[in-house]
Every structure is written in structure tokens, then in C-alpha cells.
């Protein structure tokens, strides 16, 4: 997972921050594509829930320095997807929570605001 050229918020705890921007995502396929892009997941990423959980929790896939400093994934633009596909979004939230529990130093947070 590598940082992209999007605006990345500062983290007071000093963790490396990645932004997962879900603006315009309307289904699971779109979510998986956005995860692959924004989190720089490997080509073998299976674009399913288990693969997403495994990739998130694997420190070997995190950006350089994230194992030592920690990794914060900020999910933005998620509300429209959550409203359109609440069952899928519930699974996504469970995957984020599971990955956080499995990956020491990994934190996933939902951005607040009108579009996120």
C-alpha cells in the first residue's frame, strides 16, 4: 500500500496516513476497485471480502515505515455507498474492524463531513 497524491491528513500520533476515497462508489465492485487503487493493493488482490481483510492486516503490504510508525486508513466519501448498499457497507465496516484487530498498528477510521 503506497500513498497517492491525494490530500492526506496529518496524524498527531505520527502514523502513516492513507486515504480511501469512496466518492462515487455505488457497489462492492467499485469499493474493491477503489481499495485496490487507493491502498495500492497487489495485482493478486482477489477483490473479495476475505482478500480485503487479508491485505489490510498484512504489514508486508503497508507503505515503508508503517510497521514502525503505524498505519491510519481514513475512509472518505462513504455515506452515499452506505445509504445505497447498507448490507454491503455493514460487511465493509466489519472487514475494517477485523483488519484493525488483526493488524497491530493498523487503524481504520471513517471521515466525517458532508461528503464523507
User: What pTM, to 2 d.p., does this model score?
Assistant: 0.86
Tell me, what's the pLDDT at 9?
A: 67
CB 45 within 8 A of CB 61: no
The CA distance from 48 to 46, in Å, is 6
| Residues facing 19 on adjacent strands | 74
Q: Provide the CA 31 distance to its chain's centre, in angstroms.
A: 10
- Which triple of cell numbers denotes residue 6? 491525494
Beta sheet of 71-76, edge-to-edge order? 16-21, 71-76, 106-110
Tell me, what's the pLDDT at 1?
A: 60
The tally of CA atoms less than 13 A away on the side-chain side of residue 114 is: 0
Tell me, what's the pLDDT at 104?
A: 81
CATH class of 16-110: alpha beta
Per-residue pLDDT tens listing for the chain (116 residues): 644 444 466 788 889 999 999 999 999 999 999 999 999 999 999 999 999 999 998 999 999 999 999 999 999 999 999 999 999 999 999 999 998 888 689 999 999 755 43
Q: Domain limits of the chain?
A: 16-110
- Cβ neighbours for 45, distance < 8 A, ≥ 6 positions apart: 32, 35, 36, 51, 52, 55
The CA distance from 19 to 41, in Å, is 13
Amino acid at each position: 500500500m503506497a500513498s497517492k497524491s491525494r490530500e492526506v491528513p496529518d496524524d498527531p500520533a505520527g502514523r502513516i496516513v492513507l486515504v480511501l476515497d469512496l466518492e462515487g462508489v455505488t457497489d462492492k465492485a467499485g469499493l474493491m476497485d477503489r481499495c485496490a487503487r487507493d491502498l495500492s493493493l497487489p495485482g493478486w488482490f482477489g477483490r473479495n471480502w476475505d482478500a480485503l481483510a487479508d491485505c489490510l492486516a498484512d504489514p508486508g503490504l503497508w507503505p515503508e515505515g508503517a510497521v514502525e510508525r503505524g498505519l491510519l486508513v481514513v475512509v472518505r466519501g462513504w455515506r452515499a455507498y452506505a445509504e445505497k448498499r447498507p448490507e454491503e457497507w455493514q460487511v465493509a465496516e466489519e472487514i475494517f474492524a477485523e483488519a484493525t484487530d488483526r493488524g497491530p498498528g493498523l487503524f481504520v477510521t471513517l471521515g466525517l463531513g458532508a461528503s464523507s
